[in-house]
Structures are given as C-alpha cells and as structure tokens.
Structure 1
Amino acid sequence: MKTYRLTFEQFLPTTLDKAWDYFSSPFNLAEITPSEMAFDVRSPLTKEDKMFPGLIISYKVSPLFGIKLNWVTEITHIKDKSYFVDEQRFGPFAFWHHLHQFQEVDGGVLMQDVLHYAIGWGPVGILANEMIVYKKLNHIFSFRQQKVEELFKPE
C-alpha cells in the first residue's frame, strides 16, 4: 500500500495560548473545512470541549460527489501547546495520521500540519490519488489556510 505525505505551514500573528485554544477544540474543525464537504461533527461536543488522548470524534463528511460518509478519528497524542495527533479509526482512507504542531516564534505562532495517508486499492488507489485525492486534500488545506488567516488577522 502506497503511503503519501503532505506538509503545510502557516504563520499565525497571535499568541500560542490563543492558537492552541482554537485548534484544540474539535468543534472548530467544521469552521475551517470547505462547506461543500458538508462536514458535520456528530460527537456531542461544544466549543468549550478540548481534546484529550483517547478522544473519539465522529463526523459526517461528503468528500466527493456529495456522497455522505462516516468518519471516526481518535486523538492519540497531545503535548499541551505543542502538538496533537488525530488518526482515522473508520472512514474513507486506508490510513490517516495527521500531526498538528505549534511553535511560538517571533511575532506569533508557526503552525505545521504533517499528514500521512494511504488510499489502498493498489493501482486503482494510486490513480485515484493522482487524479482526485491529492488535489482535494490540497484544496482543503488551502481553504483552511485562508480561513485561518481571516480568523487570526492582526487587529
């Protein structure tokens, strides 16, 4: 099974406390996901709920062609104000490991996402990645970057 890696970085002109407070709330993920994905957190969470190791989060999502899928992730690792990892337990990928890192830098926070994923299905999965999945993931993270710029723009 072929595994892929994508890395995205973004500077946030905010404090580490504010960045961590926002991104450590699983409820906020829907806000930074493109609306055409119909991303819906199904777990009973609020904006005040924070991640913890072992947290299971259920979603409904329409990644392609309006087809709604169940997606379940687990928060497997957290180091407060430094990083957390979500891993797919059930969903559209054969493998999904998403590391979110936060580093305080001069004037703000450097946020980095490192995503490892696999589609499975042998040559069909490789073709699907080349034709659809890679582009879709880049679109999602590009949208996320724009939305995060709006949310954390300097006042």
Structure 2
Amino acid sequence: MSVERFEQVHLLPITLDKAWDFFGCPENLATITPPWLGFKVTSPPQSEMYAGMIITYTVTPLLGLPLSWVTEITHCEAPHYFVDEQRLGPYRLWHHQHLFREVPQGVEMRDIVHFALPLGPLGSLASGMVRRKIGAIFDYRREVVERLFGLEPGARD
C-alpha cells in the first residue's frame, strides 16, 4: 500500500475562535466542497465537535454514483486542531489533520492529508489523478474561504 501526502497552508485574517467556529462545524463542510462532488452531510447536526464523533456523508466522485462516507473525529483540541479518519468510504486510508495556529496576520490554517487508494496496483496507477482531484477540492475550498472571510480575491500567503 502506497501512502500519499497532501498539504495545504494559508492565512486567514480572522481570530482563532472564528476559525474554529466555522471549521469545527461539520455542516459547513458542504459550503466549502465543490458542487461537482455532490457532497451532503447525512448525520444529524451536532452542537460541538468532540473526539469519537461519527459524521456520515454521501459523495458522488465518479460517474454520478453516490457513495457513503463515514468519518470519525479521532482527535480534537479546540480551537487548535482536529483529525478526521475515514471509517467507511472510497479510500483504503484517509487521515486528515486540520491545524489552526494564531499568527500576527490572523490564523494559519494547515491541512495535512494522508491517503491510500484501494485495489493495490490499480489504485497506485490512479494515485496521480486522485492527487490532482484532491488538489482541485482544496483549491476550491481556498477560494470559498477567501470569499467568506474577506480576503482579496487571489491573495495568497
């Protein structure tokens, strides 16, 4: 099994508490996910994120076929970080760290994703395509977050 790593960092001109209030709410994930993924949270809304929380979704990543995706929040220390890990879904491994750090300009938000694909050698062949798709998802997320939090369009760290 080949484990891939994807990382993205950017600055948000907001407070640490405001960043946590937004990103720590699973219902906001649909807002920052590209429409072409057909992403929908299907678990009941929760008032506060906690370690052990199970979140269910549906996604339509290929050919419009819906897939169930179940993640567990395995680690959570508000307002600094949380980790979600796939329990059921399209990946053999999905481990996503969401890290928030107060800096003079606001908040540094860092996403670190480790993932592995199923299907052995066939999955390995598709890893480049999947990496590009993950990159496109996070690029979309960055654009939406910039609009939501008042960054100048296209402004980068």
Q: Which band: TM-score by shorter chain?
A: over 0.9
Counting aligned pairs with the same residue, the percent is 51
Give the AA of the match of 2:28: N
- Deviates most, 12-21 or 117-126: 117-126
**Aligned residues of 2:11 and 2:107 also touching (Cα < 8 A):** yes
**Aligned residues of 1:22 and 1:28 also touching (Cα < 8 A):** yes
Instruction: Write the distance in 2 (CA, Å) between the matches of 1:127 and 1:66.
Output: 22
Post-superposition shift, 1:65? Answer: 1.9
Aligned Cα root-mean-square deviation (Å): 1.3
SS at match of 2:126: helix
Instruction: Write the distance in 1 (CA, Å) between the matches of 2:48 and 2:139.
Output: 25
Instruction: Write the distance in 2 (CA, Å) between the matches of 1:80 and 1:60.
Output: 26
Post-superposition shift, 1:107? Answer: 2.1
- 4+ runs deviating over 2 angstroms: none
Say which of 72, 75, 90 aligns to 1:74.
72
Q: How many residues align?
A: 152
Instruction: Write the distance in 2 (CA, Å) between the matches of 1:109 and 1:21.
Output: 13
Q: Are positions 1:153 and 2:150 aligned together?
A: yes
SS at match of 2:73: strand
- Deviates most, 115-124 or 23-32: 115-124
**Aligned residues of 1:41 and 1:60 also touching (Cα < 8 A):** yes
SS at match of 2:14: coil
Unaligned runs of 5+ in 1: none
**Aligned residues of 1:26 and 1:50 also touching (Cα < 8 A):** no
SS at match of 1:117: strand
Match of 2:26 in 1: 26
- Deviates most, 116-125 or 100-109: 116-125
TM-score (norm 2): 0.93
Post-superposition shift, 1:154? Answer: 5.3
SS at match of 2:45: coil
**Aligned residues of 2:12 and 2:151 also touching (Cα < 8 A):** no
Post-superposition shift, 1:121? Answer: 1.6
Unaligned runs of 5+ in 2: 153-157
